[in-house]
Homo-oligomer: A and B are copies of this chain.
């Protein structure tokens, strides 16, 4: 136990990270101070710089340093297709497939009424404006297949269809490479319903 206000302050600050409790925070602090002070300083600088310079893309809402992110600024992307995702991590997963050449809108969240997160909190109005730019022909909703992601998809789809847009949803089905025996029943049922 250290008599160190500075060390305690560091442990408290590390607990601001999602998924980090008091013991993990202590471990992280001890590790950095004992074995990796260069890493601690690097992390400090990176946090400062990111907090100061990372903002949201004016078109798609993802994180970027320029007014427009690289994808929105890329003229080769198909502006007729707009894919709606919850987070930059989901967007990155889609990009890694190489199967989508359109543009994105990143919600940076999902509807969660129990937590007080409604359409206003995740800025759905901005999405509706973005989708009605005249170029978008199809909105592909790629929110997660969780209860909250599905509810978010439902609300978005309804609102965009009312505005006369074509709305699709990522197919639900059996994951590639998996054996039916080990897939949960709900997934198999959806794959049966969505068969093509």
Contacts and interface: CB of A to CB of B under 8 A. Distances in A.
Contact of A26 (B14, B17, B73, B89): B89
A127 B12 CA distance: 31
Interface stretch (A47-55, A157-165, A183-191): A47-55
Report the interface size class on chain A: 35 or more
Interface string A26-59: 1111111110110111111111111101100000
B37 A7 contact: no
B40 A6 contact: no
Contact of A51 (B44, B50, B65): B44
Contacts of A192: none
Number of copies of this chain that the complex holds: 2
Interface in A75-133: 87-89, 91-92, 95, 108-109
Contact of A50 (B10, B66, B92): B10
| Majority SS at the chain A contact face | helix
Contact of A1 (B13, B47, B48, B71): B71
B4 A64 contact: yes
Given A30-B89, A50-B29, A89-B27, A3 B70 contact: yes
Contacts of A32: 16-17, 47, 50-51
B71 A3 contact: yes
Given A2-B63, A23-B181, A40-B50, 16 more contacts: A1-B62, A4-B65, A6-B54, A13-B47, A14-B17, A16-B40, A17-B28, A17-B31, A18-B27, A26-B88, A30-B87, A32-B51, A33-B54, A40-B48, A43-B47, A44-B51
